[in-house]
Amino acid sequence: MRTQDPKTIYLKEYQQPAFWVDHIHLTVKVFDGYTEVTSELSLRKNPTVASRELVLNGVDQKIQSLHLNDAQLTETDYQYSGGLLTLNCATDTARFRAVTRIDPQNNTSLEGLYQSGSMLCTQCEAEGFRKITFYPDRPDVMATFTTRIEADAKRFPVLLSNGNPVDSGTLDDGRHFAVWEDPFPKPSYLFALVAGDLAGKDDRFTTRSGREVTLRIFVEPQNAHKVDFALASLKKAMQWDEDVYGREYDLDLFMIVASDFFNMGAMENKGLNIFNSAAVLASPDTSNDQRFERIEGIVAHEYFHNWSGNRVTCRDWFQLSLKEGFTVFRDTEFSSDMHDRAVKRIETVAGLRAVQFPEDSGPMAHPVRPDSYIEINNFYTATVYEKGAEVVRMIHTLVGAEDFRRGSDLYFERFDGQAVTTDDFVACMEQVSGLDLTQFKRWYSQAGTPRLAVTDEFDADNGNYTLTFKQACPATPGQPEKSPFVIPVKLGLLGTDGQDLAIKTRANYSAETEVLTLTDEVTDVVFTGLTERPVPSLLRDFSAPVKWSFGYSDEQLAFLAANDANGFNRWDALQQLYIRAILSLATDRRAGRTLTAPSVLVETVANVAGDATLSHAIRASMLTLPGYAILKDAVDVVYIEDLIAARKHLVKTLATRYRDIWRSLTEKLSSHAPYEFNAEESGRRQLQGLSLWYWLKAGDQAAFDFAAQLYAGATNQTDRSNALRAVLAGDAEALQQSLLSDFYDHWQSDTQMVEQWLTMQAGTPGTTVSDIETLMQHPAFDIKNPNKVRSVIVGFAMNTESFHDDDGEGYALLASVVQQLNALNPQLAARLVTLLSDWKRYDATRGKMMAKALETILATQSLSSNVFEMAQRALKD
Ligand code: B3K
Ligand code: ZN
């Protein structure tokens, strides 16, 4: 164990800095082997703070010289330890100048300035700017930036930073320079710099007030054919933000750069977004529909941050969800408007349940607005992002679309150019709507997924139907007791004919929005004037992120799946049936009983598969079984072999019973039309892919032949990956091997395709730890590249059957990879620790082995604070 644990930062201890920065002038000179950074800060005393201490963050800085108001500082004038430079500043305005050297070529943390392939680029959120120069690296310090970059003209012909280009020219020794000016005050986490030999492509967008904006995307030359889709997505996003939020872009230039080495998806730096190549480069031949959809969403997300994040930013990192929750809500709405709203809602909720719910019910649970952290990078979580977006969605539901828009207008106007809090956001919504959201704000401060148990009673004599809602929220780390949440419940009542009945009730319910607002631990709602006992359709569109239950019979769930007027709830009813069936099959297996899939479910599946009134995409979503993440979250103790066997049994039953349906769907859904990415076409391909997968599971030779042909004749990556996915899930090993090696031979020079190739292999059932070790020796693998690590290691951890093999070797492998990455890239290493964090849910033997892997990690020499925090939280009681 460490002798000294890293420091914990608390929200309650927030204090403004003693000095603000009005302007920073940066000069970055790139040389072989080192980079020299000169930074000149114009400082202004904060009159509300008594202290005169100037506190600057700085990590891995080799100091060349420091000046305060033109006086050179000597070592007795300042203190520099633990990443903090502190000195006394007697004047109310001051100039501070630092000349330091940094080493981007050897910066494998991918934070600050680092080398990605042949280019240099930056990642400053959350606290990377301190790796570039000394600065008050906190989001409440907002300054205007001027950035001068000097570098070799041949190696780095393109030199970029935030804002507008204001000067450029040549220097001696084959070097050149460029100067950029960003007129909008911003926190340091939004700073960006790129230097490289990049190909650019331009497009244009005219804003509604007539501003002509140049859109420019930069990529390594071999990727020049993969930029059009991102540019088109960007224009759609710009238009949408004007139409839906009245928000216009504010500079003359908007740039996107693609980088192969990147810790996450993308980064919203002002005017210069930097993207993980995998999240921006697209072509029909190398990206499947899912990837297109993801890219469109991420491009929009980063663009939307220009307002929700950049113009109005976070006061401190506890407020991260202020920008992330709101921006995820915005990008989700954008995607819903671009494609199919019900399908998007299904995808969002499936993701929330698979990732955020388990996070919220385990040792990593934390509020949407955390109270404390050691390493803020560990809090870029599904809770802050996705649950945060659900919280904003509930506000939207409660205040209504019109007031939500007025509230967001007020928010952007009132706080433009400021760093604020989630309370400030909510206050705007309160002001425009007149609602008191005090109790609602518990969604920001209380962790855990509330449980909502619903029961009913029908009084036939009086025509009264009563629903009783009981809410409770389990304890989470540091929060043993919870107070009731405000829970919006959108509902309908179905009559025997499957139609919605007219609803009359006494309280809490708005007939206009069909939303009932719960505020108490127990709420009775009486619906009047009913001549029959209805079937309730609850939490329509998943109106609140809760785990709700109602004692439906299988028949009632099947009835809802067939009739509910709410598309989302049709899907959800069937999901409940699947989960129920798989869990009961798992119990049967454990008890040694024979397995029989329930007939109500089996019949419902046939009805859905043949229901031509449903869109292809909805049918595909409804026919997709819940994954292990969701199944695991539904049981107290995970006996993984039982879950696997139960799920397989259900798949096999559906596959063999309906082989003719799968076959005919697969064949009928073929098309030779040129590839187009839109809701209809991607829905068709999705349903075909799924049908082929089922057909193949039935073991028909014709299915294997079809898949091999689909693969060979594919003119787009969606068909190709559908064929591969189906074949890899079957047991025709020779065919699997031949397709995989063909794939690599053909695509080895395409980075995105190689990443997919790695992911496919890591995820194939039957892959062993030694296969993974072999894959990690392959020339295509690089432990310093996060995409490659995610493809192989996360891909393997998602391969439930293999990763959880009872020899525990999967866990040990993961621990050793974390140990290696701890020194290279602590942020990525810490992410991987979460793959073991649900250890307590497994059977005792597996749980122990997983905990042991966590202990091994915790015992690592020179453990980073990132990994320390995660492993220690995961192991805590
Ligand atoms: N704001 C960035 C995420 C930064 C993560 C730093 N560890 C991307 C985004 O959410 O848009
Ligand atoms: Zn974001």
User: Does 202 map to a domain?
Assistant: no
Instruction: Give me the amino acid identity at 318.
Output: F
pLDDT of residue 175 exceeding 90, the answer is yes
Same domain, 463 and 522: yes
Same domain, 434 and 479: no
**Which pLDDT score, from 0 to 100, does residue 1 have?**
41
How remote is the CA of residue 855 from the centroid of ligand 1, in Å? 29
> How far is 766 from 205, CA to CA, in rounded Å?
50
How remote is the CA of residue 593 from the centroid of ligand 1, in Å? 49
Nearest CA to ligand 1 atom 1: 267
Does residue 394 have its Cβ closer than 6 Å to ligand 1?
Answer: no
**Which pLDDT score, from 0 to 100, does residue 161 have?**
99
How remote is the CA of residue 267 from the centroid of ligand 1, in Å? 6
pLDDT of residue 836 exceeding 70, the answer is yes
> How far is 256 from 217, CA to CA, in rounded Å?
5
Q: Which residues contact 197 (CB under 8 A, 6 or more apart)?
A: 118, 119, 155, 156, 157, 158, 220, 221
pLDDT of residue 613 exceeding 60, the answer is yes
Reduced to 3 states (helix: H, G, I; strand: E, B; else coil), residue 765 is coil
Does residue 126 have its Cβ closer than 6 Å to ligand 1?
Answer: yes
Same domain, 438 and 463: no
Domain region containing 365: 312-445
CB count within 10 Å of CB 738 equals 14
* Total residue length of the chain: 877
How remote is the CA of residue 199 from the centroid of ligand 2, in Å? 26
Contact status, residue 517 vs residue 486, Cβ threshold 8 Å: yes
User: Does 829 map to a domain?
Assistant: no
Per-residue pLDDT reduced to its tens digit, 558-579: 999 999 999 999 999 999 999 9
* Bridge partners for 113 per DSSP: 122
More confident residue, 510 or 352: 352
Active-site entry in 127, 220, 302, 430: 302
CATH number at residue 409: 1.10.390.10
Does residue 289 have its Cβ closer than 6 Å to ligand 1?
Answer: no
How remote is the CA of residue 813 from the centroid of ligand 2, in Å? 31
Same domain, 459 and 517: yes
Per-residue H/E/C for 627-684: CHHHHHCCCCCECHHHHHHHHHHHHHHHHHHCHHHHHHHHHHCCCCCCCCCCHHHHHH
Per-residue pLDDT reduced to its tens digit, 222-241: 999 999 999 999 999 999 99
Contact status, residue 216 vs residue 177, Cβ threshold 8 Å: no
* Domain boundary, last residue among 139, 165, 197: 197
Does residue 380 have its Cβ closer than 6 Å to ligand 1?
Answer: yes
Task: Indicate the top mutation candidate among 264, 334, 379 to test ligand 1's pocket, ranked by most ligand atoms within 8 A of CB.
Answer: 264
Provide the domain count of the chain.
3
Per-residue pLDDT reduced to its tens digit, 119-146: 999 999 999 999 999 999 999 999 999 9
Nearest CA to ligand 1 atom 5: 125
How remote is the CA of residue 448 from the centroid of ligand 1, in Å? 23
Same domain, 47 and 180: yes
pLDDT of residue 506 exceeding 80, the answer is no
**Which pLDDT score, from 0 to 100, does residue 874 have?**
98
Report which bound ligand comes closest to the CA of 128.
Answer: 1
pLDDT of residue 5 exceeding 90, the answer is no
**Which pLDDT score, from 0 to 100, does residue 877 have?**
65
Does residue 805 have its Cβ closer than 6 Å to ligand 1?
Answer: no
Does residue 150 have its Cβ closer than 6 Å to ligand 1?
Answer: no
Per-residue pLDDT reduced to its tens digit, 440-495: 999 999 999 999 999 999 999 999 999 999 999 999 999 999 999 999 999 999 99
Does residue 828 have its Cβ closer than 6 Å to ligand 1?
Answer: no
How remote is the CA of residue 385 from the centroid of ligand 1, in Å? 10
Nearest CA to ligand 1 atom 9: 267
Structure tokens at 116: 């990605």
Does residue 304 have its Cβ closer than 6 Å to ligand 1?
Answer: no
Does residue 125 have its Cβ closer than 6 Å to ligand 1?
Answer: yes
User: Does 681 map to a domain?
Assistant: no
Task: Indicate the top mutation candidate among 127, 186, 268, 870 to test ligand 1's pocket, ranked by most ligand atoms within 8 A of CB.
Answer: 268
pLDDT of residue 2 exceeding 60, the answer is no
User: Does 225 map to a domain?
Assistant: no
Q: Which atom of ligand 1 is nearest to the CA of 302?
A: 11
Q: Which atom of ligand 1 is nearest to the CA of 827?
A: 7
Same domain, 475 and 423: no
Does residue 275 have its Cβ closer than 6 Å to ligand 1?
Answer: no
Same domain, 410 and 517: no
pTM over 0.85? The answer is: yes
**Which pLDDT score, from 0 to 100, does residue 3 have?**
47
Share of the chain above pLDDT 90, in %: 98
Does residue 301 have its Cβ closer than 6 Å to ligand 1?
Answer: yes
Report which bound ligand comes closest to the CA of 109.
Answer: 1
Q: Which residues contact 341 (CB under 8 A, 6 or more apart)?
A: none
Displacement of CA 8 from its chain's centroid (Å): 25
Nearest CA to ligand 1 atom 10: 324
User: Does 342 map to a domain?
Assistant: yes
Same domain, 356 and 324: yes
**Alpha helices per DSSP H over 416-497:** 422-433, 442-445
Q: What are phi and psi of 591, to 5 degrees?
A: -90, 5
> How far is 579 from 380, CA to CA, in rounded Å?
29
CATH number at residue 513: 2.60.40.1840
User: Does 494 map to a domain?
Assistant: yes
CATH number at residue 27: 2.60.40.1730
Number of H-type helices and E-type strands within the chain: 30, 33
Q: Residue-wise over 666-677: b if at least 16 C-beta within 10 A, else e?
A: beebeeeeebeb
Displacement of CA 638 from its chain's centroid (Å): 26
Task: Indicate the top mutation candidate among 190, 301, 303, 324 to test ligand 1's pocket, ranked by most ligand atoms within 8 A of CB.
Answer: 324
Residue 302 among the catalytic residues: yes
Q: Which atom of ligand 1 is nearest to the CA of 309?
A: 1
Same domain, 424 and 465: no
Averaged confidence pLDDT in the chain: 97
How remote is the CA of residue 420 from the centroid of ligand 2, in Å? 16
pLDDT average, residue stretch 790-805: 98
Same domain, 477 and 400: no
Same domain, 69 and 103: yes
**Which pLDDT score, from 0 to 100, does residue 513 have?**
87
> How far is 571 from 350, CA to CA, in rounded Å?
10
User: Does 88 map to a domain?
Assistant: yes
How remote is the CA of residue 217 from the centroid of ligand 1, in Å? 19
Cα–Cα distances in Å, from 727 out to 699, 733, 801?
A: 11, 9, 17
Q: Residue-wise over 596-609: b if at least 16 C-beta within 10 A, else e?
A: ebbebbbebbeebb
Task: Name the band, by pLDDT with cuts 50, 70 and 90, for residue 4.
Answer: low
Contact status, residue 173 vs residue 123, Cβ threshold 8 Å: no
* Domain boundary, last residue among 544, 562, 582: 544
> How far is 521 from 535, CA to CA, in rounded Å?
23
Does residue 111 have its Cβ closer than 6 Å to ligand 1?
Answer: no
Does residue 375 have its Cβ closer than 6 Å to ligand 1?
Answer: no
Does residue 127 have its Cβ closer than 6 Å to ligand 1?
Answer: no
Nearest CA to ligand 1 atom 3: 267
User: Does 629 map to a domain?
Assistant: no
* Domain boundary, last residue among 445, 473, 508: 445
How remote is the CA of residue 77 from the centroid of ligand 2, in Å? 40
Same domain, 435 and 514: no
